[in-house]
């Protein structure tokens, strides 16, 4: 990682160029958690008294990687900016780009929001459920946002068949642990044979789960981490949050799983908030697909960890649940 002192110097060049304030001063850089780039919080002082100022967030693409997918920092900024005037709360986007004058790789600067994730909250259970329902209402609001005017940020519609091909690429490897792969190939064939014909298309977050929503005590403050957002079947997001809300897909481990809203309540809250018809059969299919998708991703990342290509021991723990993810998904299909 680039030393903080070096990034601070580059950041000061950025804020002075963007604000036009030669006395603008960025300081107090602190590293934030995250895997899709280098993320910092910092404080911006200005001599001209104009916004933005105060605590902000800087994210920079990692060096030496292809600028695509999660590393495409500018794309993430454009997606958030495209949602600024919608009911979907996102951090305010101030600057983004890839000019060589600053970090020599893509970056964005957004506002810092003093919110919390539901897994961190010490609130009564009913309060947590109320906030969680509002989070699901936010998901429905995203799916109600017209996607056509935002295709420049989100991209052209991405068909399910292409996502299945991507997962084939991850799964069809002899280096995967066959005990973890378990019934994944059987599940894949069942999914292919029941593929929804014309799923509703819209703006999709791609990783909509409880850890990617910031709340205050009354409402969602921001949906964050738009690294894999796309235009595609909107029920991808509902299936994903249902998967992370379903204890039947997870074994008991030392890691405490916080599920603020049962999966049945997640679906009910979404159906109530959505302004479009929803097929129960499609909801079930996308729940199954989410279990398959995350299970395959788990198998692949476990392989990378064990082969020393991407050290992350967390996947050893997650992999304990992978066979159950595939098993439960097959049960849901019936």
Dump pLDDT digits (tens) for 137-187.
Answer: 999 999 999 999 999 999 999 999 999 999 999 999 999 999 999 999 999
pLDDT at residue 70, rounded to an integer = 76
pLDDT at 35 over 80: no
pLDDT at residue 254, rounded to an integer = 44
Mean pLDDT of the chain: 93
This prediction's pTM: 0.92
pLDDT at residue 256, rounded to an integer = 52
Decide: helix, strand or coil at residue 114: coil
pLDDT at 1 over 70: no
> Class for domain 118-333, per CATH?
alpha beta
Residues 6 or more apart whose Cβ sits within 8 Å of residue 71: 36, 37, 61, 62, 65, 106
pLDDT at residue 137, rounded to an integer = 98
Q: How many CB atoms lie within 10 A of CB 187?
A: 22
pLDDT at 266 over 90: yes
Q: Which residues are bridge partners to 215 per DSSP?
A: 116, 220
What are the phi and psi torsion angles at 302 (to 5°)?
-65, -40
Alpha-carbon distance of 39 to 16, in angstroms, equals 20
pLDDT at residue 37, rounded to an integer = 55
Asked, colleague to colleague, whether 4-111 and 118-333 share their fold, the answer is no
pLDDT at residue 62, rounded to an integer = 84
Write down the domain spans for the chain: 4-111, 118-333
Q: Looking at residues 204-232, what average pLDDT do you find?
A: 95
For residue 215, name the pLDDT band (cuts at 50, 70, 90).
Answer: very high
CB of 55 closer than 8 Å to CB of 41:
yes
The closest alpha carbon to 282, from 235, 242, 331, 333, belongs to 235
pLDDT at residue 304, rounded to an integer = 96
For residue 101, name the pLDDT band (cuts at 50, 70, 90).
Answer: confident
pLDDT at 3 over 60: no
> Class for domain 4-111, per CATH?
alpha beta
189-215: b (≥16 Cβ within 10 Å) or e: ebbeeeeeeebbbbbbbbbbbbebbbb
Q: Which residues are bridge partners to 43 per DSSP?
A: 27, 55
């Amino acid at each position: 990682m680039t030393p903080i002192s070096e990034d601070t110097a580059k950041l000061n060049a950025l804020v002075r160029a963007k604000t036009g304030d030669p006395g603008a001063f960025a300081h107090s850089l602190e590293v934030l958690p995250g895997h899709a780039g280098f993320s910092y919080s910092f404080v911006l002082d200005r001599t001209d008294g104009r916004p933005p100022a105060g605590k902000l967030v800087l994210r920079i693409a990692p060096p030496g990687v292809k600028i695509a997918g999660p590393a495409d920092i500018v794309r993430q900024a454009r997606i958030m900016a495209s949602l600024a005037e919608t009911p979907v709360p996102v951090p305010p986007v101030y600057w983004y780009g890839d000019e060589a004058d600053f970090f020599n790789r893509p970056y964005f600067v957004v506002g810092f929001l003093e919110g919390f994730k539901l897994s961190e909250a010490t609130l009564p259970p009913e309060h947590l459920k109320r906030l969680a329902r509002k989070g699901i209402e936010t998901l429905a609001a995203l799916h109600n946002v017209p996607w056509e005017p935002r295709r420049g940020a989100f991209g052209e519609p991405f068909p399910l068949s292409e996502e299945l091909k991507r997962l084939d690429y991850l799964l069809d490897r002899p280096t995967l642990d066959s005990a973890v792969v378990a019934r994944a190939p059987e599940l894949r064939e069942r999914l292919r044979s029941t593929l929804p014909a014309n799923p509703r298309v819209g703006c999709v977050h791609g990783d909509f789960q409880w850890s990617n929503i910031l709340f205050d005590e009354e409402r969602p403050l921001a949906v964050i981490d738009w690294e894999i957002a796309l235009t595609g079947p909107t029920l991808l997001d509902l299936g994903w949050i249902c998967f992370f809300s379903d204890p039947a897909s997870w074994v008991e481990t030392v890691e405490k799983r916080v599920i603020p809203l049962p999966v049945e309540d997640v679906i009910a809250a979404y159906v109530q908030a959505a302004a479009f018809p929803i097929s129960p059969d499609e909801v079930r299919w996308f729940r199954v697909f989410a279990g398959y998708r995350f299970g395959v991703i788990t198998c692949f990342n476990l392989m990378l960890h064990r082969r020393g290509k991407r050290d992350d021991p967390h996947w050893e723990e997650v992999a304990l649940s992978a066979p159950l993810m595939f098993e439960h998904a097959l049960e849901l299909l019936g």
